[in-house]
């Protein structure tokens, strides 16, 4: 059985080293100022999708991402690893969205896309760590969700069987298709790029990227539809202006602060025996230990 698989992915700022200047005054993120990467758990989701494709020849994997036009970069990355095509949902009016407005926008795009059997995505994105978008899209589409997935064990007869990784154990569930499955970082790593696919798809571009190509490259893209990534706007997916972007977001950022910890006056000790014995005696005397 060939499947229509959608993988939801996000291009995220690398959150390991950012400061206050990465935020705009209205409390939203100044993404342009930071190095952008493929959200790690979305790669785990892509691998599960590729597994399904391996097992079900003729299946197609479409990457769907919402963000700036440059998010086409992660679509190419996914295609190099085995995905078939991708859509960037990008529009100024989608900016400043919280998870709910984001889910609504993405759910609209999924509806526009139409025929799908399963939607996979990472458990959460490292810039927000909320894990909310997957379940919210499922709700908006009126389909079941399976979160914290570690492995898709089986897909047949209109059902998918999934192993979930929970805090204190594992659970295996069976859900009817179509459904949304969000994948944990504990799942299998994504396979690397395939050199032949990198060659074949290196000019896969979105409409806003075409402008940067040479005339010769433009011609190649024009003649090869598989190199044409799609770019969709809010109107194209029939998004209700009231439900998108900043206006459509019930949550608002009131304020942002840098994290400061109150420093204590510490006593600095050497590691010699006398110092450590004194410390131990003191802690015993004041009942901290013992």
Partner 1 sequence: MDKNNLIVYCEFEDGKVADVSLELLTKGRQLASKLGVKLEAIVIGDNLDKVEEQLFPYGVDRVYKVSDKRLYPYTTNPHAAVLINLFKEIEPQICLMGATCIGRDLGPRVSSCLHSGLTADCTSLEIGDHKDVKTGKEYTDLLYQIRPAFGGNIVATIVNPECRPQMATVREGVMKKEVFDAAHKGEVVDLDPSKYVSDEDFVVEIIDRHIEKSKINIKNSPIIVAGGYGVGSKENFDLLYDLANTLGAEVGASRAAVDAGFTEHARQIGQTGVTVRPKLYIACGISGQIQHIAGMQDSSIIISINNDPNAPINTIADYVITGNVEDVVPKLIKYYKKNSK
- Exposed, middle or buried, 290 (CB in 10 Å: 0-12/13-18/19+)? exposed
- Binder of residue 225, out of ligand FAD, partner 1, none (CB less than 5 to 8 A by kind): none
| 131: contact with ligand FAD by CB under 6 A | no
For ligand FAD, the binding residue among 6, 8, 15, 240 (CB under 6 A) is 15
CA atoms lying within 13 Å on the CB side of residue 156 = 4
- Binder of residue 288, out of partner 1, ligand FAD, none (CB less than 5 to 8 A by kind): partner 1
Among residues 232, 233, 203, the alpha carbon closest in space to that of 219 is found at 203
Farthest CA pair distance, the chain:
83
CA 168 to chain centre: 25
Smallest gap, in angstroms, from Cβ of residue 43 to partner 1? 17
Smallest gap, in angstroms, from Cβ of residue 24 to partner 1? 12
CA 83 to chain centre: 15
| 189: contact with partner 1 by CB under 8 A | no
167 vs 215 by CB, closer to partner 1: 167
52 vs 107 by CB, closer to partner 1: 107
Q: Give the per-residue contact string, 112-141, with partner 1 (x = CB under 8 A; - = no).
A: --------------xxxxxxxxxxx-xxx-
SS (H, E, C) 129-189: CCCCHHHHHHHHHCCCEEEEEEEEEEEECCEEEEEEEECCEEEEEEEECCEEEEECCCCCC
81 vs 140 by CB, closer to partner 1: 140
Smallest gap, in angstroms, from Cβ of residue 114 to ligand FAD? 36
| 16: contact with ligand FAD by CB under 6 A | yes
The total of other beta-carbon atoms located within 10 Å of residue 175's CB is: 17
d(C-alpha 23, C-alpha 33), whole Å = 9
For partner 1, the binding residue among 29, 75, 110, 234 (CB under 8 A) is 29
40 vs 95 by CB, closer to ligand FAD: 40
For partner 1, the binding residue among 170, 188, 220, 235 (CB under 8 A) is 170
Query: Which residues are near ligand FAD by CB under 6 A?
Result: 15-16
């Amino acid at each position: 059985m060939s499947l229509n698989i959608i993988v939801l992915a996000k291009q995220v700022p690398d959150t390991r080293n950012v400061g206050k200047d990465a935020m705009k005054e209205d409390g939203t993120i100044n993404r342009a100022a930071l190095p952008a990467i493929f959200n790690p758990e979305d790669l785990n989701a892509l691998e599960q999708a590729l597994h399904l494709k391996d097992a079900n020849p003729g299946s197609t994997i479409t990457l769907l991402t919402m963000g700036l036009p440059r998010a086409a970069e992660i679509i190419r990355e996914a295609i190099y690893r085995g995905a078939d095509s991708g859509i960037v949902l990008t529009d100024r009016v989608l900016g400043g969205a919280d998870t709910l407005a984001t889910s609504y926008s993405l759910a609209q795009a999924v509806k526009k896309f139409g025929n799908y059997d399963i939607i996979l995505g990472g458990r959460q994105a490292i810039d927000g760590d909320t894990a909310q978008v997957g379940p919210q899209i499922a709700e908006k589409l009126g389909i079941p969700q399976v979160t914290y997935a570690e492995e898709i064990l089986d897909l047949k007869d209109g059902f998918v069987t999934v192993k979930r990784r929970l805090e204190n154990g594992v659970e295996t569930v069976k859900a009817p298709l179509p459904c949304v499955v969000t994948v944990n970082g504990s799942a299998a790593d994504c396979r690397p790029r395939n050199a032949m696919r990198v060659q074949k798809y290196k000019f896969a571009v979105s409409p806003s990227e075409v402008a940067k190509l040479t005339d010769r490259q433009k011609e190649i893209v024009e003649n090869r539809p598989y190199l044409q990534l799609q770019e969709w706007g809010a109107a194209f997916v029939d998004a209700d202006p009231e439900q998108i972007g900043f206006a459509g977001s019930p949550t608002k950022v009131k304020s942002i602060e840098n994290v400061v910890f109150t420093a204590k006056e510490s006593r600095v000790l050497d590691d010699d025996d006398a110092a450590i014995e004194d410390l131990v005696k003191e802690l015993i005397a004041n009942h901290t230990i013992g």
